[in-house]
Amino acid sequence: MATTTQDRLIEATRELLWERGYVGTSPKAILGRAGVGQGSMYHHFTGKQDLALAAIRRSGDEMRTLVDRVLGGGGPARERIAAYLLREREVLRGCPVGRLTMDPDVIAADELRAPVDETIAYVESRVAAVVQEGVDSGELAAHLMPRDIAAAVVATMQGGYVLARASGDTGAFDAGVRGLLALLAAAAPVDTGP
């Protein structure tokens, strides 16, 4: 599949933002990674911030698509949440959207922060909807607060990424996921029998 110059610029920027953050993502680095000339960048985008916004939006779109695919399928709520938590990922690289929350230049720019906030809110809302399905079906205990569980899922993942990157070991991420899944399993209603 052929990619356009605009797509190559966006993809290069996405990768560089993930690796280096906003400040470390220079126009020169973008052009080098994309394999295009300076005129191409300014033909498609007004500057670095405009290109970064397109890259952040694309990362958010991909994350929403992934969340919909994993959580949107049929089956028990706990299995879908487990599939989301246990899916293959590059833990030591961190989350391509979540890492942007620690980038002061992204957070300081309302336009750049908005798609980050929207993506995280979307993930939380999708997880909360699955938890609510589990509560409604009786698979999960009625006292669970779906929004709180969704916040715990996102916090566990994002915190796990940070701890794994800090230690250079995926163990912290894996332990957090295992712990959260154990808590969800314990949140199943107790069968008191007939």
Residue carrying the six token digits 């715990």? 152
**Which pLDDT value is given to residue 145?**
96
Q: Which CATH class is domain 58-186?
A: mainly alpha
Torsional sign, CA 169, 171, 176, 178 = positive
| Residues of the chain falling short of pLDDT 50 | 1-2
Which sequence spans correspond to the domains of the chain? 58-186
Instruction: Give me the phi and psi of 140, to 5 degrees please.
Output: -115, 150
Spatial separation of the C-alpha atoms in residues 91 and 157, rounded to whole Å: 9
pTM: 0.90
Least Cα distance to 188 among 82, 35, 86 occurs for 82
d(CA 98, CA 116): 8
